């Protein structure tokens, strides 16, 4: 019988860019645009300066928002870290994983390194994202429960697959690329303890790991073909609490695409907080003032508690702006006051604002055993007011996801706002919008150099 990696390799080796469904192509364009805007937005951040200090300049590859060229591995890790750094990048309901921040940097670096054109970039991007989303469905929640970040773990494997597809590696080399990447997968979630930076680098590390795995396989290095289902395979190592179900990974591969259901975030914070922010904004828009609120109770999924609700005392008063992104109470409170939760809502000043913290301290949760997480991300609040009234709001789905997607104008406005945040002028941002529309039809990727500062 064929191993799981061998079945994936057949798909990656035989899928052609010209046969991709139009919605997959459009999602690929959206992913590149979103990632590019986020890289530009983060270009001056301290964690990007620290990452840049670890890589070599002088190569042919682009770090979006930075000057000059870089080697492929350096470009992949910096772009991935920048794209994921503010937690404003795409997500996948059912995983969850952040695919664009891994796959775009890995495949872009591979294509620039090898002098490939837009069709190869499109091929690697779409198949890599499709693979990453499907990998996350095999053992939902079990990777998080084991203390690992699914984006980091599955990202390395999916990046290897996407790069292999872009390079048009033969089937057995693709199998080895996936097998090699299994030994490069990593990423613990201890960043939650103090709001430190390591989650930010997970996407970049996965991107460079997948790139290296594919290139090593092309050079003849061998990896295990049972990397997924083996006794010592990826799921046994990173999701040991459940028996993996590989049907969502291989069923309909090539004929049914989950890629178009990727969600684009309207808010710059943790994925599962987003519907709760919508509820908080609706509470504010109903005319309620912060001093009117006695308490707010939210129905939450048990699987989200360790990352977004607990320890509740710390979530009420997050120690850093980055930690605030993973505090549902803070995100709801700042959304209530500002009617938004963009990059400007997660600064040191905003995280220390006494009014925001006072409202956050009134927010608590109860577990909803019927919550559909991780298949679906929903939000809820029940507010008790000082005059005795009780107001309740529910958000049945994540805005930006499959049930309520952001339209093209909203996504392009997000890109422009992010580019302006990173110091780009409005005319420059508009030029990049035009460049992104022609990316996949160009014989070379020289147009990407326009995204250098």
pLDDT in tens, 24-79: 999 999 999 999 999 999 999 999 999 999 999 999 999 999 999 999 999 999 99
Average pLDDT (265-271) is 96
**Spatial distance between the Cα atoms of 34 and 360, rounded to a whole number of angstroms:** 30
Q: Which residues of 254-278 are buried (b: 16+ CB within 10 A; e: fewer)?
A: eeebbbbbbbbbbbbbbbbbbbbbb
pLDDT for the residue 166: 98
**Spatial distance between the Cα atoms of 263 and 376, rounded to a whole number of angstroms:** 11
pLDDT for the residue 170: 98
Q: Would you place residue 259 in the very low, low, confident or very high pLDDT band (cuts 50, 70, 90)?
A: very high
Model pTM score: 0.95
pLDDT for the residue 94: 84
User: What digits encode the pLDDT tens for the residues 278-314?
Assistant: 999 999 999 999 999 999 999 999 999 999 999 999 9
pLDDT for the residue 195: 84
**Spatial distance between the Cα atoms of 82 and 171, rounded to a whole number of angstroms:** 32
CA distances from 254 to 21, 24, 107 (A): 10, 11, 19
Collapsing DSSP to helix, strand or coil, 179 comes out as helix
CA distances from 300 to 14, 81, 305, 317, 367 (A): 43, 29, 8, 19, 5
Average pLDDT (224-253) is 97
User: What digits encode the pLDDT tens for the residues 333-376?
Assistant: 999 999 999 999 999 999 999 999 999 999 999 999 999 998 88
């Amino acid at each position: 019988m064929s191993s799981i990696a061998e079945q994936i390799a057949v798909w990656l080796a035989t899928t052609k860019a010209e046969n991709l469904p139009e919605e997959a192509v459009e999602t690929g364009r959206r992913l590149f645009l979103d990632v590019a805007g986020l890289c530009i937005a983060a270009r001056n951040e301290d964690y990007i300066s620290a990452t840049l200090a670890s890589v070599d300049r002088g190569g042919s590859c682009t770090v979006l928002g930075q000057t000059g060229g870089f080697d492929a591995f350096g470009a992949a890790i910096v772009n991935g870290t920048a794209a994921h750094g503010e937690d404003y990048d795409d997500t996948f309901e059912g995983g969850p994983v952040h695919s664009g921040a891994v796959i775009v940097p890995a495949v872009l670096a591979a294509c620039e390194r090898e002098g490939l054109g837009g069709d190869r970039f499109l091929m690697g991007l779409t198949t890599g994202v499709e693979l990453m989303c499907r990998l996350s469905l095999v053992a939902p929640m079990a990777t998080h429960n084991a203390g690992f970040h699914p984006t980091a773990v599955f990202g390395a494997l999916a990046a290897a697959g996407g790069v292999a597809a872009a390079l048009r590696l033969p089937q057995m080399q693709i199998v080895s690329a996936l097998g090699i990447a299994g030994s490069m997968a990593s990423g613990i979630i201890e960043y939650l303890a103090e709001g430190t930076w390591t989650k930010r680098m997970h996407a970049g590390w996965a991107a460079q790991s997948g790139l290296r795995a594919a290139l090593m396989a092309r050079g003849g290095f061998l990896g295990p073909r049972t990397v997924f289902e083996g006794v010592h395979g990826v799921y046994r190592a990173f999701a040991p609490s459940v028996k993996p179900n590989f049907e969502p990974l291989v069923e309909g591969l090539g004929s049914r695409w989950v890629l178009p259901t990727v969600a684009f975030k309207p808010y710059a914070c943790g994925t599962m907080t987003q519907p709760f922010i919508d509820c908080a904004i609706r509470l504010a828009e109903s005319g309620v003032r912060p001093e009117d609120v006695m308490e707010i109770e939210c129905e939450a999924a048990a699987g989200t508690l360790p990352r977004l609700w607990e320890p509740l005392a710390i979530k009420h008063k997050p120690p850093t702006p980055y930690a605030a992104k993973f505090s549902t109470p803070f995100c709801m409170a700042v959304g209530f006051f500002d009617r938004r939760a963009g990059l400007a809502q997660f600064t040191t000043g905003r995280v220390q604002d006494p009014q925001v913290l006072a409202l956050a301290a009134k927010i608590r949760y109860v577990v909803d055993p019927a919550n559909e997480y991780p298949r679906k991300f929903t939000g809820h609040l029940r507010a008790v007011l000082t005059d005795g009234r009780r107001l309740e709001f529910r958000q049945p789905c994540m805005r930006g996801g499959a049930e309520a997607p952001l339209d093209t104008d909203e996504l392009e406005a997000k890109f422009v706002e992010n580019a302006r945040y990173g110091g780009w002028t409005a005319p420059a941002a508009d030029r990049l919008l035009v460049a992104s529309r022609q990316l996949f039809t160009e014989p070379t990727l020289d147009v990407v150099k326009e995204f250098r500062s």
